[in-house]
Chain A
Amino acid sequence: MINTTLTKKILNTLLKTGGSFSEVFAQKKEVNNIRLEDGKIENSSSGFELGCGLRLIYKDSTFYAYVDSLQQDIILNAAQILSAAVNETSKIKVLNLSNTYSSYIASIKKHPSDIIAENKKEILLSVDSFARNYSHYIIQVSSNLSDLEEEIYIANSEGIMCHDSNTKVMLSVSVVAQEKKEIRTGYKSLARTSGYEVFGIEKPSVVSGEAARIAVTMLKAVNAPSGSQQVVIGPAFGGVIFHEACGHGLEADAILKDASVFKDKIGKKIANNMVTAIDDPSMPYHWGSYAFDGEGFPSQENILIKEGILQNYIFDYKTAKKMNEKQTGNGRRQSYRDIPIPRMSNTYLAQGKEDPASILKSVKKGIYAKEFSGGQVDPAIGDFVFGISEGYMIEEGVVTKPIKGATLIGNGPEILNKITAIGSNLDFAPGFCGKGGQAASNEVGQPTILVSEITVGGTEI
């Protein structure tokens, strides 16, 4: 996207009057989004973007500029302006740029650009009819089919130079069911870092059917209980508990600002012995996966917690340098318009040994939280929440009445010590995580787990 000679010129221009690090990130992206609602294709949109971001680090400060162009004069002009931010006598010159490689392999079989619009329309129409046929209580189906193809080029003054490309597809389905005055919803999505071949393996009708099932089940929901409960948290999207309770607190920027409850805890026991947690962007086709992070560092598995002991934080270039640690390939950015920041990718609690059915049977009185609507955390104090979108009472070890949506609230370090059983059914679910004004595609995962005590925000006191 930018030849080696021009790249060197840009990187050196940035460092002209000082600084310790310079970088150019170029991106070309095409997105398509089709929306179905009310039984018809309401909206079909596409977008084209091309540009690059220039970064200069001077001591602890990052200076950044971006332009919607790959034209030489425009980029060099922006580089001049950035370099004027610094005035220093010692200057670095760019090391030799050499191609960086990643071991990540994911082959795309059906590129979005090869799929004709009519076929995309068919996927959505089948989602609609499948959901509506599920039950006469279904009053609305909304579905989005979106895809993305991008090319990325990253080079920096320390010699990294990489070319990368990404293809992502996502199908999301929201279903509304109504019985008399009760209106309830169900949501499911299928999202992969792959092409349209995923819809051959995982049928859109399964996604649609799940969303419909949840909406109809919730019509019979009773008020959720209030206060401390034993909670069994289901697999896949249940992993949001770890993402909020711990994950954000392990991102090194929070550690460096002294705004994380996990500061100075490496090597210490922060969770029950059975808890092992991993962040891994190198798993092919997972929604949060990539070959290179937003700084050109190859993706790799990062074991965060091993048998209850904190092993590592989540780093980008700047935080790794500051803390004298190795980069972990978590310097992610939403686009060329953003600076990279430490972010999770695919974050999950490792497989345990318990039979998930026995975990449920072991609870005399509690809640089974099966599907979730997301969560939020304040890493500085560790208090986090996440919302149940499909949940049930557990009475004498049996899953009984569905309960209306409720938020679970807890404190990270406390909750990690209250995970008392981990199942053998590890699964993953896709989502988006927002941090610093940037949206990132993330996956969370876990098997079924038992939390001995957590506050449930129901209305039934």
Chain B
Amino acid sequence: MEDIVKRKNGKSLVNFCKDASLKIKKLEVDEFEIYGASSTNNELELFNGQIDNLTFAETKGLGIRIFKDKRVGYSYTSILDEYNIDKCIDRAFSNSKITFQEEFNYLPLESEFKNSKGIIDKKILFSEDFFNFDIKQKIQLAKKLEILAKKKDKRVTGINNLIYDDSLDEVMILNSTGFFDSYRTTSAFIYLSVISKEKDDTSTGSFFGYDRSPGEFNLEEIAANAVNRSVSILGGKKIKSQVVDIILDPFIAAQFLGIIASIVTADTVQKGKSLLKDRIGDKIFKGDFDVIDDGTLSYGLASKPFDGEGVPKGKTVIFENGILKTYLYNTYTARKDKKFSTGNAVRASYKSTPEVGVSNFYLKPSKTSLEKIIKSVDKGFYVIDIIGLHSGTNPISGQISVGAKGVWIDKGSFSKPVKEVTIATDLLSFCKSIDKIGNDLRFMPSGGYMGSPSMLVKDIAISGK
């Protein structure tokens, strides 16, 4: 099958943005911002070695913010013609009329930037190797992963999901202060979930690859991890409810870190929705841990030269030696706290306004191996997978209660598999209970690029029988 043929175009994204700005300049607005995004996307689902679904597309869209009398309105469109861009602009303008008039509503000024421009080399955002893969090779790669997984263990009976998804994206911001910049990114994602069976029991396990190019996937590791996570739970049973130490593998730990990430953003703090309000300078973690948000990491898949409103991204140390040092800001929230923007304005896509969010967000690892940590545990629960993180956590109240499965630890070694239990705690107690962290920092896509090493967390309630 041929790769998608470049349509004889057609305006480019740059031209749409420029034309839109000319139109807006004719109106009586105070300021405006045009956010343009385009994407070339391939998605492949495999089942039993055959293509189940194959999708490809090229899309473009514009998101327009209009500022008038210190009010802001927003509108987006994927219909890029004269008439519809005019309609989009008019709607953004009329939307501004019902929003709140606030002195903090204006576009970013250079004097507000915490990070200096040009820290990042745009070349780290895409991989030239990405373009060496045509659709046939991507299909081959996915098929190879399936074969690897099925060969790993004879208890593997089938594939639950095998999805490949890649994207070539371009993002552009043009605003009335004269800011006009863009960047391109490539990304490739592959997800494998396997089913294994033994006697009457069925178990699933999954793993993924997420890189700038499919050439960077470690298919062996993905297959081995998905299979291990599945077969290690075979024969797993509920255990009796008790309080015990738990060890979270890096990917589970990263998901818990994500809950912490949602309450260090200045908007949740300012709105009374964060347990870390008024706690700058307090020791939140028992351990001397550092938690960092870095939008310039060379290997970080959430790195960008500028944030969702054109402010340069940089590195912010949020927790240092366990102490909360700062929140994360966009320009609006920074103005309210009389601080500089940390470059954390995030937009999910051109359909959204810039809110506050994390980029490459991680807990700095220690020098202790996971092996050593496990050996130090007399009785514990090694968590391999959690279910219901979204429905089971309330980041505002801090309640955490999620389903879990994994392997029991007895006198420093793995013993029986456990499933259909929950682990429950509250967020601040969780932070105080993290006793040891490992040297195995790993990242995953989870509302930003979230990273953590393994964690040993003391005295957590497990509910079973």
Contact = CB atoms under 8 A, between A and B. Distances in A.
Most A CB contacts (10 A, CB to CB) among B52, B391, B398, B426 go to B391
B53 A64 contact: yes
Contacts of B58: 67
Interface string B42-84: 0000010011111111111100000000001111111110001
A380 B419 CA distance: 14
Interface in A374-392: 374-378, 380-381, 383-387, 389
B423 interface: yes
Interface in A152-202: 176, 178, 182-185
Given A389-B394, A409-B403, A459-B425, A45 B195 contact: no
A21 interface: no
B76 A45 contact: yes
Interface string B128-140: 0000000000000
B241 A227 contact: yes
B119 interface: no
A339 B394 CA distance: 33
B147 interface: no
Interface string B240-256: 11110000000000000
Most A CB contacts (10 A, CB to CB) among B160, B388, B396 go to B388
Contacts of B241: 226-227, 461
Contacts of A185: 394, 396-397
A40 B78 contact: no
A226 B463 contact: yes
A412 B96 CA distance: 49
A259 B420 contact: no
Contact of A140 (B47, B271, B464): B271
* Band of interface residues on B: 35 or more
Nearest to B94: A117
Interface stretch (A2-10, A92-100, A293-301, A399-407): A399-407
A51 B203 CA distance: 41
If over half of A's interface residues share one DSSP class (helix, strand or loop), that class is named, otherwise mixed; here it is: strand
Contacts of A182: 397
Contacts of B100: 40-42
A51 B78 CA distance: 9
A62 to B, nearest CB: 5
Interface stretch (A77-85, A273-281, A304-312, A356-364): A77-85
A65 interface: yes
B420 A383 contact: yes
A257 B420 contact: no
Contacts of A411: 420
Contacts of B204: 378, 380-381
B272 A139 contact: yes
A13 B261 CA distance: 50
Nearest to A261: B202
Nearest to B91: A46
B390 A376 contact: yes
Given A68-B59, A68-B78, A84-B1, A387 B392 contact: yes
A406 B401 contact: yes
A86 to B, nearest CB: 8
* Band of interface residues on A: 35 or more
Interface in A49-64: 49-51, 59-64
Given A49-B79, A381-B203, A404-B399, A376 B391 contact: yes
A425 interface: no
A325 interface: no
A235 interface: no
A256 to B, nearest CB: 9
B54 A407 contact: no
B84 A48 contact: yes
B465 interface: yes
A259 B158 CA distance: 8
B273 A405 contact: no
B394 A38 contact: no
A147 to B, nearest CB: 13
A375 B426 CA distance: 19
B463 A383 contact: no
Interface in B197-239: 202-204, 238
22 contacts: A43-B99, A44-B99, A61-B54, A66-B55, A68-B59, A121-B98, A183-B396, A185-B397, A224-B424, A226-B462, A373-B392, A374-B388, A383-B387, A383-B420, A384-B387, A386-B388, A387-B392, A389-B394, A407-B424, A409-B387, A455-B464, A457-B392
By Cβ-Cβ distance, the 9 closest A-B pairs, closest first, are A457-B422, A385-B388, A374-B391, A40-B100, A387-B391, A44-B95, A226-B463, A227-B241, A45-B74
